[in-house]
């Protein structure tokens, strides 16, 4: 995949609404929602709010925060060790005004680690920077891209076209958005390990909270993948999967 032109390499998959099962948005019982006005001041209810944050408890020391513009795209998401959201620990991403990711990478106890990607407003990858214990290492030509050098990209286990068939079978159009005729395309970014397990599942392009949630659900539901191949060996690699929610007139 040409990391300098993501949009030109992604084939959008459109689904007729008659193929989509419309269901009410599923929210975890552990989800907590906090609402804010246009000045990011707390509000008691969702009515007239401009922004909201969803907090999801995964474990006693793992919490997911996702902040959205109301009825629009994500502003940022993060994983933390604490319920207050102060100690970042896990996948993080921030977004440009149009819903395209600005930067994404991993934190370990509030320090940047591993490979971080930085994008422009059109979704083109600008650079990758390697971090160790919060310190940026060289980001010159010696830094290997997680998108490059994969001779055979990872693919869903099964016959050719398995991913498309999986989406047709399992994609659920959120009922509230279907009734409101709200559509959009989400691009999910995730890693496939050498053993075929998915991890570091996040968003490259956000569209709407409920569309984002459904897209992430699909990737987590997809099961094991055939890992990417480099020089004949199975390797950890990243995939970008667009999921389009559209109507047929």
224 vs 203: CA distance, rounded Å: 19
What integer is the mean pLDDT of 64-93? Answer: 95
Strand residue runs (E) in 120-227: 125-132, 135-136, 155-156, 172-174, 184-192, 198-205, 225-226
What integer is the mean pLDDT of 148-165? Answer: 74
**Contact (CB, 8 A) for 196 and 157:** yes
Nearest to 244 by CA among 10, 2, 8, 43: 10
Q: Which residue has the tokens 């401009």?
A: 50
Nearest to 197 by CA among 228, 162, 160: 228
At residue 123, the pLDDT reads 86
218 vs 196: CA distance, rounded Å: 16
**Contact (CB, 8 A) for 25 and 213:** yes
Provide, rounded to the nearest whole percent, the portion of the chain with pLDDT above 90.
55
Report the predicted TM-score, pTM, of the whole model to 2 decimal places.
0.79
DSSP bridge partners of 116: 129
> How is residue 231 written in tokens?
């020089």
Q: 62: exposed, middle or buried (C-beta count within 10 Å: 0-12, 13-18, 19+)?
A: middle
Distance of CA 86 to the CA centre of its chain: 21
**Contact (CB, 8 A) for 163 and 175:** no
| 93 Cβ contact list (under 8 Å, min separation 6) | 74, 76, 77, 78, 101, 102, 103, 104, 202, 203
Residue 115 pLDDT greater than 50, yes or no: yes
Provide, rounded to the nearest whole percent, the portion of the chain with pLDDT above 70.
81
| 20 Cβ contact list (under 8 Å, min separation 6) | 171, 172, 173, 178, 245
**Contact (CB, 8 A) for 215 and 243:** yes
φ and ψ of 137, to 5 deg: -95, -175
Confidence of residue 151 (pLDDT cuts 50, 70, 90): low
Residue 160 pLDDT greater than 80, yes or no: no
């Amino acid at each position: 995949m040409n990391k300098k032109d993501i949009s030109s390499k992604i084939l959008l998959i459109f689904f007729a609404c008659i193929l989509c099962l419309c269901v009410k948005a599923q929210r975890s019982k552990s989800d907590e929602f906090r609402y804010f006005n246009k000045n990011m001041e707390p509000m008691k209810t969702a009515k007239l709010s401009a922004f909201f944050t969803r907090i999801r408890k995964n474990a006693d020391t793992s919490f997911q925060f996702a902040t959205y513009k109301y009825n629009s795209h994500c502003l940022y998401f993060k994983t933390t060790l604490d319920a207050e959201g102060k100690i970042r620990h896990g996948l993080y991403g921030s977004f440009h005004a149009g819903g395209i990711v600005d930067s994404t990478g991993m934190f370990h106890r509030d320090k940047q680690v591993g490979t971080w990607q930085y994008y422009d407003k059109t979704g083109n990858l600008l650079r990758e920077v390697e971090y160790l214990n919060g310190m940026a290492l060289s980001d010159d030509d010696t830094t290997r891209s997680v998108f490059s050098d994969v001779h055979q990209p990872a693919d869903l286990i099964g016959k050719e076209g398995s991913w498309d068939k999986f989406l047709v079978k399992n994609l659920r159009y959120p009922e509230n958005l279907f009734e409101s005729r709200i559509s959009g395309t989400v691009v999910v970014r995730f890693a496939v390990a050498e053993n075929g397990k998915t991890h570091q599942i996040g968003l490259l392009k956000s569209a709407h909270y409920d569309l984002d949630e459904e897209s992430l659900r699909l990737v987590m539901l997809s099961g094991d993948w055939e890992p990417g191949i480099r020089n004949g060996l199975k390797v950890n690699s990243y995939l970008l999967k667009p999921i389009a929610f559209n109507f047929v007139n």
